[in-house]
């Protein structure tokens, strides 16, 4: 959708549902277009005509102020333009504590006033003394912070029911608080077995939960009373290191315990009481299991947040706003706005597509000026909030439409190129925003708490800015202490972006069916297209197809983390992003996601894994149909972590080989002579010396060598040149377990004794393993690129319904081979069919069972180029008097093949090609992704209870909770 000054976003340009949202949420009485809203906002914020023109230009050019700005600027209603705040809560009932924090009841009153004016609130409840601590004034024992959180929860519900904007709250507690376990469990799904029910009764109750959409949420709400809170644990580096090292961890507090306890000096220099000492992994496991089964608590890496803070010299951050995109001090605010990235794409969906970075930088500068003016023009619920904002002038500029912009540029969101683009566009936004704030400081002055040397000291976010910008800050100061924040943009993406993708999120779905509750109480169904997908169809034709579109649920967890990790270093506050986790994601891998996030230096992480109790993420009807089909066609068991299928995004795996082909070197080696009933032969194992001994190759020599054994040697030689000990050990162990009708006695080279080998393949592997062990080639280096690249470590096993399969008859009349070649195949999460096991049945040399074993392992490497390479090297494998004439796969002509093995390799390569997995240097990022199919969102998936229509239809979408029954969107965005 192109815009111009004379006809910007005319009503007919927006999809109907988007236009309805625009009018209902953001338009003043009498306003009927985006342009009218933009002019009202610009007029309300500007000091003069010139500034007003700049503010209109910014919005027309692609800047979308936060939802509260659009709905409150220039309006008569007494509401704030600020989305969210963080409010302090002290350890007293009233008045202020020694740190100046308001007592619990005063904090409650301040929060009620803030919510009444339309602002969400985040709190850190860590200062409130734990359960059982001494209360000197009343000579009693404390009830703990969780009990007071329930009071805040009821207040929020009451304010909401009074008719204001739905309240949103974030509750935070430090991981070292003595009540941390109670806090973690505050929203826990109940374990009915532990509550006294017999297993069959507990199972029956859970069956009711699954069958009755409303019952599950009602049941959980009855036990988890903090329904008006999101909760997050503020974890420290000390705690995370203790988790890694399986160490002890102290739970501490300032308040006096009733009984004598030891004390410790904490990292901030204060001495606190040690209430108890626990195993860090015990707390970590409790956090992870609650999050895995109930979606909360989230995790904030609080030390990272404070270390990175530009103002660490004058504030300590303890909490975030309810959606987590702003890390804020006491009384800090979210002054938000987003750049619509789709507006800067030229020649979309063509080879000439490009992104206008200069145009974006211009709009970013205008947006910074506009958000800075919001701080002066808004109504503040509390004077403390006004003072905090005036002293530091925090703003939070982000973007929307990242996923759509990538698609328009021909970039898949889940590719390495996608992460690189996200990094570049975020870095460009950072540089333009900071430079714009410096320019504002030249005329308006720096924020009052500015101290150049402390602001730029080593470790702050500002210290990582380009030198040119740091020099400008030292010379002129900077108007805003913080400038960047990527928020969820659910409703403004619809109203001002024609359903562009939200914030940093990928496209949710290409096409949805959404219900909307009308003024008379009836419901009307609307079809809603993603913005980029709509443009694609308009410009390329309704029948056009493209593999560039990828939706959130088609992506792996690694895909989500890659983009988050690429963008995070360029955002001075935080990012609200949901990492979607499949329901069957292994718990061990789920824990690792959080550990990886900490190691990546992220400030926090939120995941969403659907389950019976919390409801599913809204899925497309097409996706639901596909899952139904696959449920009958594919039945892989999930009870063994080593057999689970998890596709991994890896580099071209052939690049890990030390030598892609045999190097021209003078090898050293050893020869083993073997006597077998089928004939005597020799096994030669060579290595190359370069600092240490590297495995090079193995081959079979001798006129009497058994048929097919040399093919195993040829395949294993390629494996040797990866120089990957763990990978080689896995291959050899697989061969050692091969049992056939060709078992024989052989001399053990390590003992000199005669031992029985179960097959030729096993005996061959025994000799090779002995030699590789001698030269140290099987020693683990701590990292195995090949093992990491496997999408399933062991062969996946099927359930009773079976799995997909493919079969072909092969006959070599010269050698008498006559057998059936079989593959088992799996449908990967992205819809791609992949062979993962191959075997033979019929008449053939049983040594080929060993070859099929090692090829099956090769098939499970995520990059299909690997098995294609292995098979290609076997297509010229010849045997004496083994060549024969056979039909070319996929053709009517015939061709002479040098051996049965060569023909098997040719047939398997043809299968890979038919599945789109083979070709010249097969590229995983292209080969693994299916062509796009239209997704239509289902309207009957169970979810949470909607606060408006009360149906169980509230789902997580693009970081916000959206009701597919009445169209209600949660407070974020």
Q: Where residue 499 sits, what CATH number does that domain have?
A: 3.20.70.20
pLDDT one-digit tens code per residue, 229-262 = 889 999 999 999 999 999 999 999 999 888 878 9
Residue 552 in domain: no
Domain endpoint, select from 514, 531, 553:
514
SS3 528: strand
CB 527 within 8 A of CB 621: no
- Asked if pLDDT for residue 928 goes beyond 60, the answer is no
pTM for the whole thing? 0.68
Pairing of strands 140-141, 134-135: antiparallel
Of 877, 884, 928, nearest in space to 905 by CA:
877
Give the position of tokens 């659907």. 610
Q: Report which secondary-structure segment, H or E, holds 184.
A: helix 180-184
CB 362 within 8 A of CB 428: no
pLDDT at position 612: 56
CB 841 within 8 A of CB 820: yes
Residues 184 and 213 in one domain: no
pLDDT one-digit tens code per residue, 786-834 = 888 888 888 888 777 677 788 999 999 999 999 999 999 887 755 678 8
Structure token digits, residue 412: 């898949």
In 34-76 the beta strands, taken as DSSP E runs, fall at 63-65
Distance from first CA to last CA of the chain, Å, rounded? Answer: 22
| Residue 820, beta-bridge partner list | 809, 841
Residues 380 and 463 in one domain: yes
* Helices of type H across 260-356: 280-294, 302-308
Residues 184 and 194 in one domain: no
pLDDT at position 431: 98
What is the chain's mean pLDDT, rounded? 85
Spatial neighbors of 619 by CB under 8 A, at least 6 apart, are 553, 937, 938, 941
Cα–Cα distance for residue pair 915/86, rounded to 1 Å? 53
- For residue 940, how many other CB atoms are within 10 A of its CB? 10
Tell me phi and psi for residue 601, to 5 degrees: 85, 20
Give the count of domains, the chain.
4
Residue 964 in domain: no
Cα–Cα distance for residue pair 131/142, rounded to 1 Å? 5
pLDDT one-digit tens code per residue, 262-293 = 999 998 889 999 999 999 999 999 999 989 88
- Asked if pLDDT for residue 611 goes beyond 80, the answer is no
Residue 559 in domain: no
Residues 210 and 301 in one domain: no
Q: b/e for 449-484, b at 16 or more Cβ within 10 A? A: bbebeebbeeebbbeebeeebbebbeebbbbbbbbb
Residue 949 in domain: no
Pairing of strands 84-86, 120-124: parallel
- pLDDT class of 485 with cuts at 50, 70, 90: very high
Residue 614 in domain: no
Domain endpoint, select from 478, 493, 514:
514
pLDDT one-digit tens code per residue, 150-165 = 999 888 878 753 334 4
Residues 749 and 706 in one domain: yes
Residues 813 and 908 in one domain: yes
Residue 604 in domain: yes
Tell me which residue range forms the domain holding 50. Answer: 11-80+334-514
Residues 235 and 216 in one domain: no
Residues 318 and 441 in one domain: no
Residues 61 and 103 in one domain: no
DSSP 24: I
Residue 551 in domain: no
Residues 39 and 175 in one domain: no
pLDDT one-digit tens code per residue, 595-610 = 999 998 999 988 888 7
Cα–Cα distance for residue pair 221/616, rounded to 1 Å? 17
Residues 776 and 679 in one domain: yes
SS3 751: coil
Residues 828 and 768 in one domain: yes
Cα–Cα distance for residue pair 460/670, rounded to 1 Å? 59
pLDDT one-digit tens code per residue, 364-411 = 999 999 999 999 999 999 999 999 999 999 999 999 999 999 999 999
Residue 630 in domain: no
């Amino acid at each position: 959708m192109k815009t111009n000054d004379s006809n910007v976003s005319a009503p007919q340009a927006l999809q109907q549902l988007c236009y309805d949202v625009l009018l209902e949420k953001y338009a003043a009485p009498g306003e009927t277009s985006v342009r009218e809203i933009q002019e009202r906002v610009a007029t309300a914020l500007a000091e003069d005509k010139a500034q007003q023109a700049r503010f209109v230009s910014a919005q027309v050019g692609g800047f979308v102020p936060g939802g509260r700005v659009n709905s409150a600027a220039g309006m008569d209603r007494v509401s704030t333009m600020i989305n969210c705040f963080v409010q302090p809560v002290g350890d007293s009932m009233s008045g202020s504590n020694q740190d100046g924090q308001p007592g619990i009841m005063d904090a409650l009153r301040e929060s009620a006033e803030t919510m009444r004016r339309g602002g969400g609130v985040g709190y850190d409840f860590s200062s409130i003394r734990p359960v059982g601590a001494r209360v000197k004034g009343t000579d009693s024992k404390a009830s703990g912070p969780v009990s007071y959180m329930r009071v805040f929860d009821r207040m929020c519900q009451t304010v909401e029911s009074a008719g204001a904007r739905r309240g949103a709250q974030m509750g935070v507690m430090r991981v070292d608080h003595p009540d941390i376990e109670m806090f973690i469990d505050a929203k826990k799904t109940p374990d009915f077995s532990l509550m006294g029910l017999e297993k069959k009764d507990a199972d029956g109750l859970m069956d009711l939960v699954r069958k009755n959409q409303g019952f599950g949420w009602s049941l959980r709400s009855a036990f988890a009373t903090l329904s008006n809170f999101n909760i997050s644990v503020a974890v420290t580096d000390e705690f995370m290191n203790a988790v890694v090292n399986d160490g002890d961890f102290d739970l501490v507090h300032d308040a006096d315990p009733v009984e004598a306890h030891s004390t410790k000096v904490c990292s901030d220099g204060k001495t606190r009481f040690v209430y108890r000492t626990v195993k860090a992994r015990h707390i970590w496991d409790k956090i992870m299991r609650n999050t895995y089964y109930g979606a909360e608590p989230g995790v904030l890496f609080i030390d990272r947040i404070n270390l990175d803070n530009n103002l660490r010299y004058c504030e300590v951050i303890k909490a975030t706003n309810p959606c987590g995109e702003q890390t804020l001090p006491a009384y800090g605010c979210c002054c938000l706005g987003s750049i619509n990235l789709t507006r800067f794409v030229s020649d979309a969906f063509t080879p000439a597509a490009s992104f206008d970075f200069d145009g974006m930088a211009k709009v970013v500068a205008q947006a910074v000026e506009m958000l800075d003016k919001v701080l002066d023009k808004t109504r503040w619920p509390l004077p403390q909030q006004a003072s905090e904002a005036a002293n530091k002038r925090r703003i939070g500029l982000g973007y929307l439409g990242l996923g759509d912009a990538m698609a328009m540029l021909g970039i898949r969101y889940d590719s390495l190129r996608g992460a690189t683009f996200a990094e570049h566009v975020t870095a460009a936004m950072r540089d333009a925003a900071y430079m714009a704030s410096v320019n504002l400081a030249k005329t308006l002055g720096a924020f009052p708490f500015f101290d150049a040397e402390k602001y730029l000291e080593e470790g702050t976010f500002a210290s990582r800015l380009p030198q040119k910008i740091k020099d400008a800050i030292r010379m002129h100061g900077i108007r805003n202490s913080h400038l960047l924040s990527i928020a969820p943009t659910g409703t403004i993406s619809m109203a001002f972006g024609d359903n562009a993708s939200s914030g940093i999120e990928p496209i949710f779905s290409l096409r949805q069916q959404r219900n909307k509750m009308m003024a008379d109480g009836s419901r009307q169904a609307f079809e809603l297209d993603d913005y980029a997908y709509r443009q694609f169809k308009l410009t390329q034709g309704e029948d056009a197809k493209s593999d560039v579109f990828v939706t959130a649920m088609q992506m792996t967890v690694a895909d989500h983390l890659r983009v988050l990790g690429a963008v995070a270093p360029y955002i001075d506050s935080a990012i609200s992003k949901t990492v979607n986790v499949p329901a069957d994601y292994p718990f061990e891998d789920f824990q690792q996601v959080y550990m990886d996030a900490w190691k990546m230096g992220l400030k926090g992480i939120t995941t969403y894994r659907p389950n019976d109790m919390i409801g599913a993420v809204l899925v497309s009807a097409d996706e639901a149909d596909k899952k139904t089909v696959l449920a009958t066609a594919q039945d892989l068991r999930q009870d063994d972590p080593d057999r689970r299928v998890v596709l991994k995004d890896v580099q071209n795996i052939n690049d890990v080989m030390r030598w892609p082909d045999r190097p021209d070197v003078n090898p050293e080696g050893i020869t083993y002579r073997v006597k077998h009933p089928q004939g005597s032969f020799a096994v030669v194992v060579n290595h190359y010396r370069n600092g240490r001994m590297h495995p090079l190759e193995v081959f079979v020599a001798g006129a009497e060598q058994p048929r097919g054994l040399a093919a195993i040697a040829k395949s294993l030689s390629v494996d040797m040149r990866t120089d990957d000990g763990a990978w080689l050990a896995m291959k050899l162990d697989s061969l050692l377990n091969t049992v056939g009708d060709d078992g024989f006695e052989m001399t053990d080279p390590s003992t000199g004794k005669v031992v029985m080998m179960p097959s030729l393949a096993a005996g061959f592997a025994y000799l090779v393993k002995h030699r590789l062990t001698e030269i140290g080639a099987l020693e683990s280096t701590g990292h195995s690129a090949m093992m990491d690249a496997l999408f399933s470590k062991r062969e996946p096993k099927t359930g009773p319904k079976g799995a997909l399969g493919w079969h072909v008859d092969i006959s070599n009349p010269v050698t008498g081979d006559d057998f059936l070649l079989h593959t088992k195949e799996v449908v990967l999460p992205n819809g791609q069919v992949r062979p993962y096991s191959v075997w033979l049945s019929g008449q053939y040399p049983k040594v080929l069972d060993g070859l099929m074993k090692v090829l099956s392992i090769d098939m499970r490497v995520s990059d299909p180029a690997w098995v294609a390479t292995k098979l290609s090297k076997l297509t010229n494998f010849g045997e004496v008097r083994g060549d024969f004439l056979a039909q070319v796969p996929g053709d009517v002509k015939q061709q002479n093949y040098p051996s049965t093995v060569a023909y098997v390799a040719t047939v398997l390569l043809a299968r890979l090609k038919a599945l789109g997995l083979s070709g010249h240097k097969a590229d995983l990022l292209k080969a693994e992704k299916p062509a796009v199919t239209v997704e239509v969102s289902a309207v009957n998936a169970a979810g949470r209870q909607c606060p408006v229509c009360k149906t169980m239809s509230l789902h997580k979408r693009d970081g916000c909770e959206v009701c597919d029954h009445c169209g209600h969107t949660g407070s974020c965005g």
